[in-house]
Amino acid sequence: MQRRTFITLIGSVAAAWPLAARGQPTKKMPKVGVLWHAGSADEESIYLGELRQGLNGLSYIDGKTIALEHRFPNEQPERFVSLAAELVALRVDVLVAVTQPAALAAQRATTTIPIVFIAVPDPVGAKLANSLARPGGNTRD
């Protein structure tokens, strides 16, 4: 009788082993899309370095704990729109828009992805926010 119990126990452990060996599912790395205004990373090197340094200070390391997707429209209005749409198609978790044209293009590209914008002097006047106290929608300054 003990032999049968032992064989059954070993068989059930062996059947469950492949499930246990898989371990925890890997956590999805958050993707942040950044829509700059200049034409290249070199032109934005100071601000790009500050962004990385700030994120590193919060334990977000590009390529390890977070994935940064940068786009540089070179101040061309039609490129703001197409590059914002490209970032949305990549399914970024949040969009960062630098300047008003970038923020407006991001706002047109999505109503669901959160948008954080910087260097926008009048977000209410630009219709990026309903008010500063209650911005509404998916945009935040």
Q: How many CB atoms lie within 10 A of CB 100?
A: 19
End-to-end CA distance of the chain: 72
Ramachandran quadrant class, 27 (left: phi over 0; alpha: psi -120 to 50; beta: rest): beta
Half-sphere exposure of residue 132, counting CA atoms within 13 Å on the CB side?
Answer: 5
- State the pTM of this model: 0.77
Q: Tens digit of pLDDT for each residue in 57-74?
A: 999 999 999 999 999 999
Give me the pLDDT at residue 42, please: 96
Taking residues 102-122, what's their average pLDDT?
Answer: 95
Give me the pLDDT at residue 5, please: 53
Q: Does domain 31-140 fall into CATH 3.30.1600.10?
A: no
Contacts of 99 (CB under 8 A, 6+ apart): 37, 118, 119, 120
